[in-house]
Amino acid sequence: MQLDKVYEPQRFEPHWAQWWIDRGFFHAPSSRHEGREMFSLVIPPPNVTGSLHIGHMLEHTEIDVTTRWHRMKGDQTLWLPGQDHAGIATQMVVERALKASENITRHDLGREEFVKRVWQWKEQYGGTIINQMKRMGDSCDWSRNRFTLDEGLSRAVRETFVRLYEKGLIYRGEYMVNWCPQCHTALSDLEVVHEETQGNLWHIQYPVKDMPGRFVTVATTRPETMLGDTAVCVNPEDERYFDLHGKSVILPLTGREIPVICDELADPKFGTGVVKVTPAHDPNDFEAGKRHNLPHVKVIGLNGEMTAEAGAYAGLDRFEARKRVLADLDSQGLLVQTAAHQLSIGRCQRCKTIVEPLVSKQWFCKMKPLAEPAIKAVEEGRIVFVPENWSKTYYEWMYNIRDWCVSRQLWWGHRIPAWHCGECGEVTVSREDVTACPKCASTNITQDPDVLDTWFSSGLWPFSTLGWPDKTPELAAYYPTTVLITGFDILFFWVARMIMLGIECMGDVPFKTVYIHGLVRDAERQKMSKTKGNTIDPLVVTEQYGTDAVRFALLRGAAPGTDIVLSEERMVSSRAFCNKIWNAARFIFLQMEKVGVESLEIQSLASHVAPAERIEGALPLEDRWIFHRLNETAAKIHAAQENFRYHEVADLIWGFLWDEFCDWYLEVKKFRIQQGEHMHAHLRNLLTVFEFALRLLHPVMPFLTEELWQRLMKKCDSLPESICLAAFPQAQDSTADPQGAAAFALLQEMTVAARGLRADQKLDPKATQDGFLYPANETAVMLGATELPLLQALTNTKFEVGAAGAEKAAGASRATNDFEMVLKLSGAQVDAVRGRLVKEIEQLQKVIQNSQKQLGSEAFVAKAPAHVIDGIRSKLADYEAQLAKSQAALTDLGA
């Protein structure tokens, strides 16, 4: 039972993390229990490819704090864990591993064998995140862990796809998509990251057919695509080009004749007013091509190399082809200008390769019919965003939503449930595998080779994980979930799609509240990135400082709508806080041993604050105060938890445990116990408060509180097996005592005043000092009569209580509206203090005189910068305040 002097979290955390799981404390019942409030949330499923970073730790800490709080409140609670198969990322990782270890590609293996290898990789490495979560104490129901490629979730994905297809919301066709030449798949707009970069705008002359010497000049940032031009375009209202209506131009380097079209695509105010039209390689040109029935000439292939359609440039990398095209244009005198130009480059979110706009046959989902009820759900308040401003961002995207390209040219993922007939070309979308064509009965049937976008399956996460499309007890009990806690970076990828698909498939919203947390930034407020080298590995810092300390450091900065600044200083202070609580427990247990008490029955086992034990019919003043503050703190923590104000939760706990319980209450109780009277009652009240405070702290610091709880169980009767099963404290009117709290606050003020006086006079803190206390109101008189020994012990000052209106003794003094205090000083002390004050006054007067002289100089004030003048004035005000204080102290010393 003896506690070490220093808390070493690494010794205890792994044990409790596994013990909670083994004991099944986080398991949620399958069906709803009548009379209990329901609380459920699903984890934003981390990608199976990687490990948790410090941003994940912030998110998981906030989720865990919320979940533990609801569980302790008595709510029927489910935190459902899981992982995402992360199609592009996982396939990319495995392909790299194959290349490095066996020098083979997925094509060498074939689809079936490659997918088998990915599953093997997932089984070997995919448990990293689960192990991290367990080690961090995430209070998930691990019996319900889900993976987006689980059999049940795969069935939900197929059911959703078929339903949307049957409603005409999923269709297949040739459209412009974002293509990644590295990952070899189409990407949605959201998977393309745009970055501003310095490029060039090249001006190229196209000869007009049958008009010798007549050219049109086009400007382009991608000259290699001109090989696929099928028209040039002018604005129909642009008078400069009326003579070209109905004409053709000759495409340089190819000799191909292409028409001049009139379309709003060309802006007369931009550049020359003439634009090249490449329907196969630009989304705007693609739409113009549809309006004018232009052919598609595909000159860049899926691998980023020039196709046979590019003629002499076939087989070249697209960027090498650009250099060759520019050189050839220049040699023919057709490259008339090169100008620097700022442009936005789209890159694949995963591999950072520059994406290529290509026309491709893909599967798409119509989004506007799904977006309309999802917008309405937020407008009507059925879903609330916290902070509220994120709803505006949500609306902006949803009102401008475009159809979603849901197919990906990958092998790892949910295979699209569509079968193509090799005889008649019929496409069959089905819930069950198709073996024969329903139209011509041919068995020459092949399943579509594409897989679904990863976000399609994760969009079903809140209900597919609970057993949908079956009507399971879990689905009835826990859907819709209560809250979603996530980052803003997947607001559109995931949150919006869950809302749309939840309403579509379930007829109800997937969650009632969306809390959007901020980013974790470094001490200089920079975004963390591997490039900058400022990332933080959570496993490293938790090993160094302890998991609880890192959680607490993250929470202290987690105000809604702001980013979190995580510094070493904040983690060090959080670790010190853990050690402070540890030493408080150590002090309590030592006091019990000294008194010879092995165990005590304490009073705060219920959810409310029980009254303190009376001593000789009355409550000690410190107990009246601490129970009142305990009551207030519990109420404030409840309010903060309900509003996702995690930083307030942390600050309230810090303030109560460090500033009030440790710095004041323990010191008072130490004095009471040393007096040797009513020690059992004092210890019982002390334990009651501490046990209550541990429960307040548990959601934030689960490991430390569990370790101390288990030790507390040896000293208290009838405690639950684990603190995570204990009731979270509730505020209770019966323990409110504002009068007692105010009286103790006055005692604190007296103590601080006496300590301040001693410090001002630089008196030896170990030496007992004599003094006088002159009460000025009824409460101060009461304190002077009943708590004088305590005040003397706290200040190491022997006070005499003077009558109101009595002549004040000479010495160092301090006065307030409630009392006046005087320290008696010996002749030697007076002489030492007087000498020091005289020197201070002389120095301050010189500094003040110099500052006034500077400010009084018109030449100096005219030349000096404004911030310098302001700084001198600010310091002058401080010097004058110090001078007044020193002069008053000198006066207090008397003659």
Write out pLDDT tens, residues 7-23.
Answer: 999 999 999 999 999 99
pLDDT at residue 536, as a whole number: 76
Q: Which whole number is the average pLDDT over 711-731?
A: 84
**To which H or E segment does residue 883 belong?**
helix 866-892
pLDDT in tens, 489-535: 889 989 999 999 999 999 999 999 999 998 888 777 777 655 566 66
- Give the end-to-end CA distance of the chain in Å, rounded to a whole number: 59
Dihedral over Cα of 862, 866, 872, 874: its sign = positive
Using CA atoms, how far apart are residues 50 and 248, in angstroms rounded to an integer? 55
State phi, psi for 681 to the nearest 5 degrees. -65, -45
In this structure, of 74-83, 122-131, 301-310, 579-588, the range with the lowest mean pLDDT score is: 122-131
Delimit the domains of the chain by residue range: 185-357, 547-736, 746-822, 826-895
What residues have CB less than 8 Å from 282, skipping those under 6 apart? 176, 225, 357
Give residue 136's pLDDT band: very low, low, confident or very high (50, 70, 90): very high
pLDDT for res 191: 82
The secondary structure element, H or E, covering residue 388 is none
User: Is 90 exceeded by the pLDDT of residue 814?
Assistant: no
> pLDDT band for position 34 (50/70/90)?
confident
Query: How far is the C-alpha of 411 from the C-alpha of 450, rounded, in Å?
Result: 7
Q: How far apart are CA 350 and CA 702, in angstroms?
A: 36
Predicted local confidence at residue 608, as pLDDT: 62
Which 8-state DSSP code applies to residue 734?
G
Question: For residue 804, what pLDDT is reported?
Answer: 64
Geometric angle at alpha carbon 840, from 837 and 842, rounded to 5°: 110
Q: What pLDDT shows up at residue 616?
A: 72
Predicted local confidence at residue 601, as pLDDT: 64
Phi, psi of 434 (to 5 degrees): -100, 130
| 833-880 residue pLDDT tens | 778 778 888 999 999 999 999 899 988 888 888 888 889 999 999 888
Question: Does residue 265 contact residue 275 with C-beta atoms inside 8 Å?
Answer: yes
pLDDT score, position 539: 84
DSSP labels, 289-345: HHHTTPPP---B-TTSBB-GGGGGGTTSBHHHHHHHHHHHHHHTT-EEEEEEEEEEE
Which has the higher per-residue pLDDT, 738 or 594? 738
280: left (phi over 0), alpha (psi -120 to 50) or beta: alpha
pLDDT value for 607: 59
Would the CA dihedral through 283, 289, 290, 292 be positive or negative? positive
Q: Which pLDDT score, from 0 to 100, does residue 531 have?
A: 52
Task: Tell me the two tokens of residue 585.
Answer: 């427990």
CB 363 within 8 A of CB 169: no
Average pLDDT over residues 57-69: 97
Other CB atoms closer than 10 Å to residue 617's CB: what's the count? Answer: 5
Ramachandran sector of residue 682 (left: φ over 0; alpha: ψ -120 to 50; beta: rest): alpha
Q: Is the dihedral of CA 705, 478, 46, 532 positive or negative?
A: negative
Using a pLDDT cut of 90, give the percent of the chain over it: 70
Q: Tell me the C-alpha distance between 366 and 454, whole Å.
A: 17
891 pLDDT band, cuts 50/70/90, is: confident
Contacts of 351 (CB under 8 A, 6+ apart): 92, 180, 182, 183
pLDDT in tens, 672-682: 999 988 888 89
Q: What is the pTM of this model?
A: 0.85
Residue environment code for 265-291, b if the CB has 16+ CB neighbours within 10 A, otherwise e: bbebeebbbbbbbbbbbbeebbebbee
Would you say residue 609 has pLDDT above 80?
no
Token pair 């090799």 is found at: 422
Mean pLDDT for the stretch of residues 432-442: 96
- Confidence grade of residue 715 (pLDDT, cut at 50, 70, 90): low
pLDDT on residue 170: 97
Helix ranges (DSSP H) in 422-460: 454-458
Q: What CA–CA distance (Å, rounded) separates 893 from 895?
A: 7
Report the pLDDT value the prediction gives residue 534, as an integer from 0 to 100. Answer: 67
CB 422 within 8 A of CB 433: no
Q: Which CATH superfamily does the domain covering 826-895 fall into?
A: Valyl-tRNA synthetase, C-terminal domain (1.10.287.380)
Retrieve residue 638's tokens: 């409840």
DSSP string covering 20-86: HHHTTTTPPPSSPPTTS-EEEEE--PPBTTS---HHHHHHHHHHHHHHHHHHHHT-EEEEE-EEB--
Rounded to whole angstroms, the Cα distance separating 771 from 756 reads 13
Q: Tokens for 59?
A: 């998110």
pLDDT score for 154: 96
Q: How confident is the model at residue 704 (pLDDT cuts 50, 70, 90)?
A: very high
pLDDT at 36 exceeding the cut of 70: yes
pLDDT at residue number 530:
52
Which two tokens mark 701?
Answer: 């610091």
Place of tokens 């066709």: 173
Q: Which two tokens stand for residue 673?
A: 């116990």
- Separation of alpha carbons 86 and 48, rounded Å: 7
Paired tokens of 309: 């359609």
Is residue 183 very low, low, confident or very high in pLDDT (cuts 50, 70, 90)?
Answer: confident
Q: What per-residue confidence (pLDDT) applies to 305? A: 95
- Give the per-residue pLDDT at 89: 86
pLDDT for the residue numbered 375: 98
Cα distances (angstroms) measured from residue 696 to each of 9, 314, 788, 795: 19, 70, 33, 31
* pLDDT score, position 508: 97
pLDDT in tens, 634-662: 999 999 999 999 999 999 999 999 999 99
On the CB side of 850, how many CA atoms lie within 13 Å of its CA? Answer: 9
State the pairing for strand pair 407-408/418-421.
unpaired
Question: Under a CB-based contact definition with an 8 Å cutoff, are residues 96 and 49 in contact?
Answer: no
* Residue 733: band (very low, low, confident or very high) from pLDDT cuts 50, 70, 90: confident
**What share of the chain has pLDDT > 70, as a percent?**
96
For the cut 80, the answer to whether the pLDDT of residue 274 exceeds it is: yes
Residue with tokens 């505020």: 731
The structure tokens 């402070």 sit at 580
Peptide bond into 207 cis (omega under 30): no
530 is in an annotated binding site: yes
441: left (phi over 0), alpha (psi -120 to 50) or beta: left
CATH hierarchy code of domain 185-357: 3.90.740.10
Mean pLDDT of 321-334: 96
pLDDT tens digits, one per residue of 438-469? 999 999 999 999 999 999 999 999 999 999 99
Q: Give the residue, 235 or 886, on which the prediction is more confident.
A: 235
Summarize the confidence of residues 232-259 as an average pLDDT.
95
Mean pLDDT of 220-231: 95
CATH code 2.60.40.10 for 547-736? no
**Would the CATH topology of 185-357 be identical to that of 826-895?**
no
